Amino acid sequence: MADGTKIEWTDATWNPITGCAVVSPGCTNCYAMKLSGTRLRNHESRKGLTKDTKAGPVWTGEMRFNRQWLDQPLRWSKPRMIFVCAHGDLFAEGVPDLWIDHVFSVMALAPQHTFQLLTKRPQRMREYFAGRRANFGRASEVLHEHISHGLSEAEHQDAVDLLDLFDSMGKTLPNVWLGVSVEDQKRADERIPILLDTPAAVRWISAEPLLGPISFRWAAWQLLSKMEATNHLDGLRRLDWVVAGGESGAGARPMHPDWARKLRDQCAEAQVPFLFKQWGEWVPQVGAVEGWTIPDDPEISRIDHRDWEGDHWGEPYRPMWCDDRNDDTVSRVGKRYAGRLLDGVEHNSFPEVRR
């Protein structure tokens, strides 16, 4: 956990639960998975959560509850945006409801903060909230365990009262944002409608790493989320925030610039806040992005191009989406130099913070 982070859309990370399992292509180069299997492999919160393979560390599916960090947000008096389970998934298969109850009780006790949750398992998240009365009804049994880990009797009772109040009113915690990770159209089709069917004060998506184009203009949303649409962007308008970005790291896959532009333009039309987090390792060739130039830095001896299929340095990498675009090769320059300007503009929109 960290009170302070380089992630552009949050202020701090909180990891009461660590661990995960690979479920879709967006997991392939997961930074948390690589970190857990390398630099943090002997840390008590990460030990044994990954296994070594030819492709590098891979999640084992084991989950860990880090009680020592559970009350961390309660010690931060200054309001923060907090990314919950940045090195795991709160709704992963190996996480019992009891652990989720603990996390939500702490979030209820810290209304000064905004908690940002992301999952690739929206079905589990929806099921958890469908059984919310039973889950939150366990608060009085669950929270007494917190007392021995830093919570006072008064804080314990406050959490019970808050959770019971929101349950009886049929409302959600206003300081908790629920989101899903969607890396391509298939995952968007599968996960977003379920998110829309889940009670939340704020709903958002993270399209990072963006591995394919995503369109919100399809009829399946109406069927899967049981909503009536009068406009092709009505589904998008039920979201409160869209974050997008390319992949970084050693094995990063390139993002076509038009995929990011498409999300930006749809959000602008639907008046949904949009944040472009990063290009990642790759950018369009010089001149394809206004405002981006080759940095004059001795650390870069050349602009590297990669043959993606063979993973060799040499000729410019031309993925399939470049076949009919002679001017759209991509160059690998590294996250630091690629930056986060999309057509010369830095997009930093956020939804309204609710208390």
Identify the pLDDT of residue 331: 75
- Using pLDDT thresholds of 50, 70 and 90, give the confidence band for residue 164: low
Tens digits of residue pLDDT in 88-136? 999 999 999 889 988 988 888 888 999 999 999 999 999 988 876 444 4
> If you average pLDDT over residues 249-264, what whole number do you get?
88
Extract the runs of DSSP E, i.e. beta strands, from 221-273.
241-245
What pLDDT sits at residue 299?
Answer: 38
- Taking only the tens place, the pLDDT of each residue in 244-254 is 999 998 878 88
Contacts of 197 (CB under 8 A, 6+ apart): 126, 224, 225, 226
pLDDT above 70 for 141? no
Q: Give the pLDDT mean for 264-293.
A: 79
Question: Could you tell me how far CA 142 lies from the centroid of its own chain?
Answer: 27
- The angle subtended at Cα 274 by Cα 268 and Cα 280, nearest 5°, is 125
pLDDT at 233: 80
* pLDDT confidence of residue 154: 64
Higher pLDDT, 178 or 232: 178
The residues that bridge with 84 in the sheet, in sequence order, are 14, 117
Scanning the structure block, which residue is given the tokens 């309660």? 74
pTM of the full predicted structure? 0.82
Task: Give me the helices (H) in 53-184, please.
Answer: 97-109, 122-130, 132-137, 139-147, 153-169
